[in-house]
Amino acid sequence: MDFGYIKLPKGVEMREPYEGERRYFEKNPNVSGMATEDGKVILNPYSKLSEREYQSVATNEAVRLAIKQDRSLVPDFELTEQQKRFLDTTTYRYADEEDRKATIAARLVSGDPSAGVSTTEQDAFVNMLKAKLFGEE
């Protein structure tokens, strides 16, 4: 599948899934993409997402990677109770607070409604991320 239309933030790259990752994706078409251990974004070619949905997934994963790579991008906002409850139903239940905040920030940047209603503080952080990573406000 050609993902040449995907736009990623500065400093984050995408690669083709390795054979083991491809087999995992084939068995798990509901997993649409991931950030890899080597700091790249991979997308599941077996998902039935639209180009817009793939872009959202790629943005989400790329923002999480950018936050890990650049310590000046670490989220400094508080999570809402709704966001905490949501994260407690996901694989981020036992993640450290920094990862939980990065996940919400990345979801807000990518427009994922699962992030819940953002606070003014979160909106300011997300606007800073967008400006720094994508050159937009």
> Digits of tens for pLDDT over the chain (137 positions)?
788 899 998 889 999 999 999 999 999 999 999 999 999 999 999 999 999 999 999 999 999 999 999 989 999 999 999 999 999 999 899 999 999 999 999 999 999 999 999 999 999 999 999 999 988 65
Question: What's the CA gap between 45 and 27, in Å, rounded?
Answer: 11
Distance separating alpha carbons of residues 129 and 45, to the nearest angstrom? 28
Domain boundaries, the chain: 13-134
Distances (CA, A) of 85 to 13, 76, 103: 32, 19, 14
What residues are paired with 43 via a beta bridge? Answer: 33
Task: State the Cα torsion 78-82-85-89 to the nearest 10°.
Answer: -110
Q: What is the pTM of this model?
A: 0.88
Q: How far apart are CA 4 and CA 62, in angstroms?
A: 15
Rounded CA-CA distance 23/55 in Å is 22
